[in-house]
Amino acid sequence: MNNDDLERQLRAQAGPREEGYRPSPLPGTLNAQSRRNGLSNAGRVALVGATVVAGAALAIALTRLPQSAPSGVGAGGSPESSASAQPTGTPPQLAACSAEDFAWSTDPWTGAAGSRGTNVLLRGVTSLDGCRINGAVSVEIRDAGGQKLVGNTAVTHQRVAAGDVLELGIAWSNWCDADPAQPLSAVLQLPGDGTEVPLISSSGEILVPPCNGIGQPTNLSVTDIQPSTRTFPDG
């Protein structure tokens, strides 16, 4: 039954103010439809209400969630340091070379241009892990009684590994005093090492230079230690 049929039936019946009016129940199909419509409307109202409440609760929850920091930014707002940005460890410094880190060899003393001199070779021993000569290398020439006749230093900065061959030059000039007591000796000290290395030439003799200027001091020149292309003598 549709709305038109219901309206025609209502018009055919007497109204409540007309004579002979008798109330009669609505058709069963209409009552059932009304109940269904009522329940359906109530359900829609309840669903809409629940949706609104759930939406409000979700909005509140979202506003209370902690804000995640952008990638690469710490909790305090400062950039985070990555592992690659951390300074790497610096390699340990090489230890200072000592006299025992080398094998030593001294050339025979020779004369040239009014001076007398020699060359000294040193080679890093095979057990050497590496060391550094860093500072003043000192050389002295002494008489038979150990008295210093002349000396000098040369600043050297050199890294040394096992098997490295190095050299330094020594030249003594202008000796105008009385002949020194023989035999003479020469010694070398590395910076920071108290060990004296005897510079004994293969000839066993240290030549005294001539007098080139009376009243002028004697002089010993020493070069800094440098890498050498020479072959270290056997033995």
What percent of the chain stands above pLDDT 90? 57
User: 126 — alpha (psi -120 to 50), left (phi > 0) or beta?
Assistant: alpha
- 40: pLDDT strictly greater than 80: no
Choice among 4-8, 65-69, 119-123, 198-202 with the minimum mean pLDDT: 65-69
pTM: predicted TM-score of the whole model, two decimal places: 0.61
Half-sphere exposure of 180 (CA within 13 A, CB side): 22
- 72: pLDDT strictly greater than 50: no
- 160: pLDDT strictly greater than 90: yes
Average pLDDT over residues 87-95: 66
Average pLDDT over residues 164-177: 97
- State the Cα–Cα distance between residues 154 and 149, nearest whole angstrom: 18
- 15: pLDDT strictly greater than 60: no
pLDDT of residue 202: 81
DSSP state of 28: H
- In this predicted model, which residue has the larger pLDDT, 16 or 173? 173
Exposed / middle / buried, residue 85 (Cβ in 10 Å: 0-12, 13-18, 19+): exposed
pLDDT confidence band for 203 (50 / 70 / 90)? confident
| CATH number attached to the domain at 99-227 | 2.60.40
List the domain boundaries for the chain: 1-9+27-61, 99-227
Average pLDDT over residues 26-47: 47
Choice among 12-26, 63-77, 210-224 with the minimum mean pLDDT: 63-77
pLDDT confidence band for 120 (50 / 70 / 90)? very high
Average pLDDT over residues 6-16: 58
- CB of 164 closer than 8 Å to CB of 107: no
Ranges of H-type helices in the chain: 3-12, 28-64
pLDDT confidence band for 213 (50 / 70 / 90)? very high
- 75: pLDDT strictly greater than 50: no
